[in-house]
Structure 1
Amino acid sequence: MYWNQPPIHPSAQGWTSQRREERVYTEDLLHQNIGKEITFYQTYENNPQWPAKVLTGTLREVGRDFVLVRDRETGKDHILMNINIDFYVFETQPANLVPRRR
């Protein structure tokens, strides 16, 4: 999923390389919003006990494949794997967007 070598894309002038610094990932956006109230909507395939889960809390940390959230109701920390997250909603403030690099 994450490569050490930048991807290479064909263009009209030939092959060009697009480095990570030139793109914005959800990881970058979430990292800019640590400390904000957020709701995560998740699904878990083939799990009859809880196929879908919603968690609202404070975003504490962001990694490449996970997020750490403190549950608003229980005060417990949860590590959520990105593969299970369908989408998220910022509850208290608009999300800070990552500035575009030129």
Structure 2
Amino acid sequence: MGYSSNPYAQYYGGQPGMAAGFSPGQVAGQQTGYKMPSFQAAPQDVPGMLPLEQSYVENILRLNRGKLATVYMTFENNREWNAKIFKGIIEAAGRDHLILSDPQTGKRYLLLMVYLDYVTFDEEIEYDYPFGAAPGLSAYPSR
């Protein structure tokens, strides 16, 4: 008959320092008040989908890709221009940036979100509050 390297592993799952039948929150028949922290896995980002239950400017801009927008930005400590307005078609948006293309000049702008004040649209925007059923997100596959 062979013996394992730890004969008590069957009682406490092989964790050193654990008494048989006791969890970290128990001491010989009484609760210590210490609870093991439980963690929920963060939802993973799926390419081509907006994160669920998150309402961020970047996601709203992504929903409105292809629309004409006016973007207002402030650049502190800039002697030439403190505030600037960009008008163009939303091509892409990320956590820290926005890409606009100006249909009049063909110029493309890579704008940093840190400078963003607000955005206006001359048409209705796509936006549904992210909690619960969101029909406006139907272009994106469900998780």
Distance 2:110 2:130 in 1: 29
How many Å separate the matches in 1 of 2:89 and 2:128?
A: 19
**Unpaired runs of at least 5, structure 2:** 1-39, 44-50, 133-143
Q: TM-score w.r.t. structure 2 length?
A: 0.54
Match of 1:50 in 2: 81
1:80, 1:98 → 2: CA distance? 25
Q: What are the equivalent positions in structure 2 for 1:22-37 lying under 5 Å apart?
A: 22-37=53-68
Secondary structure, aligned partner of 1:28: helix
| 1:66 equivalent in structure 2 | 97
- How many pairs align? 87
Which of 113, 126, 130 does residue 96 from structure 1 map onto?
126
1:16-66: CA deviation from partner (whole Å, max 9, x where unpaired): x79762221111111000000000011101101111100111011111100
| Structure 2 match to 1:4 | none
Higher strand share: 1
What is the TM-score of this pair, normalised by structure 1?
0.74
* Percent identity between the two aligned chains: 32
The CA RMSD measured in Å over matched residues stands at 2.2
